[in-house]
Amino acid sequence: MRRAVVTGGAGFIGSHLCERLLDEDYEVLCLDNFLTGRPENVAHLTGDPGFRLIRCDVTDFVHVSGPVDVVLHFASPASPIDYLQRPIETLEVGSIGTQHALGLAREKGARFVLASTSEVYGDPLVHPQPEDYRGNVNPVGPRAVYDEAKRFGEAITTAYRSYHGVDTGIVRIFNTFGPRLRPDDGRAVPTFIRQALEEQPIVVAGDGSQTRSLCYVDDTVEGIVRMAHADHPGPVNLGNPHELAIVDLARWIKDLAGSPSEIAFGPLPQDDPQVRRPDISRARDVLAWEPKTPVEDGLRRTIDWFRRALAQQVVQVGSR
């Protein structure tokens, strides 16, 4: 049986990745310090004999006994509300944590896959964004702790490949959504869904003309698994070229949720990217990958999951 280590495995994407690897007959070691990940995201996997959940902070030390075939490094705060509250931890996991995860891959002779991000492009001046675009990042802005942590992660991953001969790959993940996003995550999709289901005003930043490209989590995970099985170093964009304005996303979620909520407008955060759309030519060529799930179908599934999750929270509060 092949063995995989997933750092940040109790997070949003990490938990879906653990689930998928088990389906691929991997033994999965899920490492998480639960800073932003949650044990309940993988609670349904704990009865599987091939799954092991280990509380571990990868910035301290990473040790795994026995052979490892692939290390997938997904440990990091990923939403602005998290990395703005935990700037030092975000920088440390992107630097020290990435080095420790790379060291494990080197020790075990394992394939290493780094979860990077579209945020390395910053507020892009090239649209759509291909992998050879170097980005437009403000290194001293409030978002820099995440952007630069990931850019450093890419640099040290490349160094381990060229200097130590580690088999590495880098995926740049664009806006991903689906079940298990936290209602208080702070990103657009979970925030809009929560506000719509609670019949609160759906608050759009700025005038809502800024764009995002949304990819359903199952499609993102498919691309990650293909990268784990490939020998390409990357970086490879994983995202959905279907681009839409944030205000249109808010209206879409309101309609799909059947919500009476009004659309409201708030301040635009500093350095908030104005456009975001991946060029996925490389993913098509190298991984034979492109997203399959229509955004509307993914939003319906995510809204249904949030509706159940929020209802369960109400029941739990009422039973106390």
163 is catalytic: no
Query: Which residues touch 192 (CB under 8 Å, ≥6 apart)?
Result: 202, 249, 250, 253, 254
Distance separating alpha carbons of residues 283 and 240, to the nearest angstrom? 11
Among the listed residues 26, 146, 160, 216, the single catalytic one is: 146
Catalytic positions: 146
